Amino acid sequence: MGRREERAAEFHEFAHAAGPRLFRTALLLTGGDWHEAEDLVQTVLARVFASWARVRRVEHREAYVRTALVRAHLSVRRLRRSAERPVAVLPEAAGRDGDPALRVTLLQALARLSPKDRAVLVLRYWEDRSVQQTARELGLREGTVRNRSMVALGRLRELLADERDVLTAR
C-alpha cells in the first residue's frame, strides 16, 4: 500500500469513528435540521480530507474537527443566501432509534434558539468545554458566553414548560 492509500485508509477510519458523534453535534447545532446537519458534516469532513496530511498530526483530532464543525456552522449561516437544501439522497428510514416524541420535542425547542445560542450550549454542555474555551472558539467574551448560556437555558425551560407530558412520560 502506497502512502496515499495509507492516508486515505487512515482518514476513512477516523471519519467512520468520529462521524456519529460529529453528526449528533451537527444535529444539535442546526436545531434538528437533518439535511443541514448532513451537509455540515460532509462539508467539514471534506475539508478534513483535503487537509488530512496536516489534520492527522493534530493531537486531539476529534475535538479539533468538532470545533471546526461549530465554526463552519456559524460561517455557513452567514453565507447562506437561500433556502437551498441538500437532498441528494434521502435519510434512511431506519436512521432513528430511541424516543422520537421526546427527541422531536427537544429539538423543536432547540430550533427556536438562535444559532449562536445553540453553539454556546453545544460547546459548553455537549462538548463540555470551559467558558474560556467556548469564548475563544466562538470569538466571544467570557461574560457573553456565561450570559448566553443562562439566557438560552432559561429560554429552553420556557419552551419545554408546556411539554411536561412528553418529558415525564419516559
Chosen residue from 6, 10, 143, 161 binding another protein by CB under 8 A = 161
Q: Which stretch binds another protein (CB under 8 A): 8-16, 55-63, 135-143?
A: 8-16
Q: Which stretch binds another protein (CB under 8 A): 62-70, 117-125, 132-140?
A: 117-125
Return the residues of window 127-146 that contact another protein according to CB under 8 A: 128
Residue type, 12: H
Distance CA 131, CA 143 (A): 9
47: CB partners within 8 A, 6+ apart: 68, 72
**CB 128, min distance to another protein, A:** 7
Distance CA 104, CA 111 (A): 10
Contact characters 81-100, another protein, x per CB under 8 A? --xxxxxxxxxxxxxxxxxx
Chosen residue from 7, 61, 112, 136 binding another protein by CB under 8 A = 112
Distance CA 57, CA 62 (A): 12
Distance CA 37, CA 115 (A): 13
**CB 55, min distance to another protein, A:** 11
Residue type, 34: W
Contact 147, 100 (CB under 8 A): no
Contact 136, 142 (CB under 8 A): no
20 vs 141, beta carbon nearer another protein: 20
Chosen residue from 15, 63, 74, 151 binding another protein by CB under 8 A = 15
91 vs 141, beta carbon nearer another protein: 91
What grid cell was written down for 79? 453565507
Contact characters 44-83, another protein, x per CB under 8 A? xxxxxxx---------------------x---x--xx--x
